[in-house]
Amino acid sequence: MDFADFAARAAAIEGESADLETIGLVADLFGDAGEDLGAVARFVQGRIVPAHDDTKLDVGPTLCYEALARAAGRNVSAADVEAELAAVGEIGAVAESLDLGGQRGLEAFGDGTPDPLTVAEVQRTLRSIATASGGGSTDTKRNTLFGLFNRAEPLEARYLARLVLGEMRIGVGEGTVRDAVAEAFEASTEAVERALQVSNDCGVVARTAREDGEAGLSAIRLRVGRPVKAMLAQTGTAIEAIESWGDAAVETKFDGVRVQIHYDGETPRLFSRNLEDVTDSLPEVVDAVERSIDVPAILDGEVVAVDPDGTPLPFQEVLRRFRRKHDVAAAREDVAVELHAFDCLHVDGEDLLDTPLERRHERLRERLPDAAVDLTVSDDPDAIADLESEALSKGHEGIMLKNPESTYTPGKRGQNWLKRKPDVETLDLVVTGAEWGEGRRANLFGTFVVSVRTDDGYEPVGKVATGITDGELETLHERLEPHVRSETGTEVDIEPAVVFEVGYEEIQRSPTYGSGYALRFPRFVGIREDKSPADADSLERLRRLYS
Ligand code: AMP
């Protein structure tokens, strides 16, 4: 498929606001994508690799502006691109407005007209940018990007720039892709959804649906080494759990970071909740798995930092492990970590997603007796309250209540896992802006604009300026500065990258913020390094909490 065709379809999809029509347009696009179906299914969501693959393009805004400016000719600088972005607010519109290809002569052959860009070529080229590393790779990336922009027509440039910066924003999320695959290739939504959960790869699912129909979709299996999304929890009470399920399976809720363990029988690989490979940061977990398991397996659990007596340390401590990537040995001496495994998705060739929780837990215990969490099944609220007090007194975060009969549903925040924490008045929000501080904090950001996730972007719910120590302000500044998109006066526009946990007293309706809500007394609790903007709390959740 020509990239121009893809761009024209993307523009039509972006211009359509009705959900059903959007699904129809995406389904038509999938139907016409031919060999490029996999790439197209990813591109509409702004992805260049499957969701299970943590390869990053690693092109910051500045590099993209530089490549655009170069393709726009001698009279345009990266600063001009940035200024235009501040004025129009969106990189696609900026790229579309530039007169690109001023230096086409440098790239072109024959009659001076370059071949049209194709989807396959854009995909190949962006992947080559993603894998470029080592000395000189920044120049290579800039040159390669320039080569693409230099050949792009205005509409192509619009979607290319957005793809490069991971901001496709044509209103197509995973739900739309699921429905469009179902419509285009006449499969049931359930079958497509399940295949997406199991493979975490919309390209594979779209191709399978087209070529092998529902039978093919249901034959898709978990694969060791290909992480799936983590099953998620809602908040709830013991009474709710018992009323819904009769019995509740109770486990300690550990305050650490989620890991998914993939063991192929020889080497374990560990993935974070964002599906990044974190194997090298957690050697003791690797050792523990190698010591205990002798068959291929996929396990789910939490890694917690502990002091020398084994007492759990706050969540922030375990994060030090991930920050000190290059000095894991020193970090290991600094903070010890422990694995608490709570689920088992696959053992020795057998997928267990559809096996009830209690049975999965038995399989886990057989394979990893030392690290498997205790699970108590109870229908007595008092007994559950005792388990909660015990967990809290040992320094843990609280308890999890799980439906003993439930299957494992990757990526779902369903009703089958409930978290009971004493303090639930916090939200995980994305930082999308900041304001410079005043007085002795004048060279640091002092106030942070925090946003909830919406279907196609982020909308602010408040500004956070309290609860932050001077030391933390410096850390936050360093963390956010690389993500600055533009500045106007004292206000700074920041690309969504960092998630804050924000405490608050109340949610109010508000015309001031784009979300329509405002948090009363928002205060900074911490950075959620384990979450990406896609995991932040949604506008829908905010609405529910409000009502
Ligand atoms: P939250 O991050 O507040 O949404 O709480 C859900 C998280 O608690 C999960 O994603 C896990 O990282 C963590 N967790 C700790 N202990 C457990 C457990 N026993 N079962 C499931 N999740 C747990």
Query: 3-state class of 156 per DSSP?
Result: helix
* pLDDT (average), residues 155-181: 96
Say whether pLDDT at 303 is over 70: yes
Distance 374 CA to ligand 1 centre (A): 15
Same domain, 403 and 483: no
240-299 per-position pLDDT tens digit: 899 999 999 999 999 999 999 999 999 999 999 999 999 999 999 999 999 999 999 999
Q: What is the pLDDT of residue 113?
A: 65
CA end-to-end span of the chain, whole Å? 47
Q: Which one of 231, 302, 338 would you pick to mutate in the ligand 1 pocket, going by the greatest count of ligand atoms within 8 A of its CB?
A: 302
Say whether pLDDT at 325 is over 80: no
34 in any annotated domain: no
Residue 501 assigned ligand-binding role:
no
- State the CATH number of the domain containing residue 93: 1.10.3260.10
343-389 per-position pLDDT tens digit: 999 999 999 999 999 999 999 999 999 999 999 999 998 899 889 88
* pLDDT (average), residues 471-491: 92
Residue 273 assigned ligand-binding role:
yes
* pLDDT (average), residues 426-437: 94
63 in any annotated domain: yes
Which string of DSSP letters, residue by residue, matches 314-365?
Answer: PHHHHHHHHH-GGGHHHHHHH-EEEEEEEEEEEETTEE-TTS-HHHHHHHHH
Same domain, 240 and 355: yes
Q: What is the pLDDT of residue 471?
A: 86
Q: Which atom of ligand 1 is nearest to the CA of 233?
A: 6
Same domain, 458 and 389: no
* pLDDT (average), residues 226-244: 92
- Give me the chain's average pLDDT, please: 92
- State the CATH number of the domain containing residue 339: 3.30.470.30
Could you say which of 117, 144, 164 is where a domain stops?
164
Percent of the chain with pLDDT over 90: 77
403 in any annotated domain: yes
Give me the residues paired with residue 340 across strands: 302
Same domain, 441 and 394: no
- State the CATH number of the domain containing residue 538: 2.40.50.140
Distance 236 CA to ligand 1 centre (A): 13
Residue 322 assigned ligand-binding role:
no
Q: Which atom of ligand 1 is nearest to the CA of 258?
A: 12
- For residue 117, give its domain range: 47-164
438-461 per-position pLDDT tens digit: 887 889 999 999 999 998 899 999
Q: What is the pLDDT of residue 106?
A: 53
* pLDDT interval class at 237 (50, 70, 90): confident
In whole angstroms, give the CA distance from residue 418 to residue 372: 19
Same domain, 516 and 398: no
Number of domains the chain contains: 3
Q: What is the pLDDT of residue 61?
A: 92
Same domain, 390 and 253: yes
Q: Does residue 73 contact residue 82 with C-beta atoms inside 8 Å?
A: no
189 in any annotated domain: no
Same domain, 396 and 355: yes
* pLDDT interval class at 421 (50, 70, 90): low
Residue of 141, 229, 253, 402 with catalytic role: 253
Same domain, 363 and 488: no
Q: Does residue 523 contact residue 415 with C-beta atoms inside 8 Å?
A: no
Q: State phi, psi for 382 to the nearest 5 degrees.
A: -70, -40
Q: What is the pLDDT of residue 321?
A: 83
Say whether pLDDT at 430 is over 70: yes
Query: 3-state class of 473 per DSSP?
Result: helix
Q: What is the pLDDT of residue 112?
A: 58
79-114 per-position pLDDT tens digit: 999 999 999 989 999 999 998 876 555 554 555 567
Distance 254 CA to ligand 1 centre (A): 7
Out of 133-142, 264-273, 416-425, pick the least confident: 416-425
Q: What is the 3-state secondary structure (H, E, C) of 255-285?
A: CCEEEEEEECCCCEEEECCCCCECHHHCHHH
In whole angstroms, give the CA distance from residue 413 to residue 123: 32
Out of 69-83, 97-111, 326-340, 410-424, pick the least confident: 97-111
β-strand 413-420 against 232-235: which pairing, if any? Answer: parallel
β-strand 376-378 against 350-351: which pairing, if any? Answer: unpaired
The letter for the amino acid at 254 is F
In whole angstroms, give the CA distance from residue 527 to residue 30: 39
Residue 342 assigned ligand-binding role:
yes
Kindly state the helix (H) or strand (E) to which residue 508 belongs, with its residue range. Answer: strand 506-509
Same domain, 482 and 441: yes
Q: What is the 3-state secondary structure (H, E, C) of 61-99?
A: HHHHHHHHHHHCCCCCCHHHHHHHHHHHCCHHHHHHHCC
Could you say which of 164, 189, 209 is where a domain stops?
164
Give me the residues paired with residue 351 across strands: 346
In whole angstroms, give the CA distance from residue 81 to residue 66: 8
Say whether pLDDT at 423 is over 60: no
Neighbours of 347 (CB within 10 A): 21
6 in any annotated domain: no
Predicted TM-score of the model (pTM):
0.78
In whole angstroms, give the CA distance from residue 412 to residue 367: 26
Q: Whose CA is nearest to atom 6 of ligand 1?
A: 233
Q: What is the pLDDT of residue 426?
A: 85
* pLDDT interval class at 475 (50, 70, 90): very high
Query: 3-state class of 422 per DSSP?
Result: coil
Same domain, 462 and 431: yes
Q: Which residue's entry shows tokens 């946990």?
A: 501
Same domain, 396 and 451: no
Percent of the chain with pLDDT over 70: 96
Q: For the stretch 102-126, what's the b/e string if a residue is b when 16 or more beta carbons lie within 10 angstroms of its beta carbon?
A: bbeeeeeeeeeebeebbbeebbebb
* pLDDT interval class at 200 (50, 70, 90): very high
Q: State phi, psi for 101 to the nearest 5 degrees.
A: 90, 10
93 in any annotated domain: yes
Choice between 503 and 229, residue whose per-residue pLDDT is larger: 229
Residue among 450, 437, 427 nearest 496 (CA) = 450
Could you say which of 371, 398, 417 is where a domain stops?
417
207 in any annotated domain: no
198 in any annotated domain: no
- Residues touching ligand 1 (Cβ under 6 Å) are 230, 233, 251-254, 258, 302, 342, 373, 400, 419
* pLDDT (average), residues 324-346: 84
Q: What is the pLDDT of residue 134?
A: 82
Q: 383 Cβ partners below 8 Å, 6+ apart?
A: 376
Same domain, 412 and 430: no
**56 catalytic, yes or no?**
no
In whole angstroms, give the CA distance from residue 275 to residue 264: 17
Q: Which residue's entry shows tokens 């490979």?
A: 277
Distance 342 CA to ligand 1 centre (A): 10
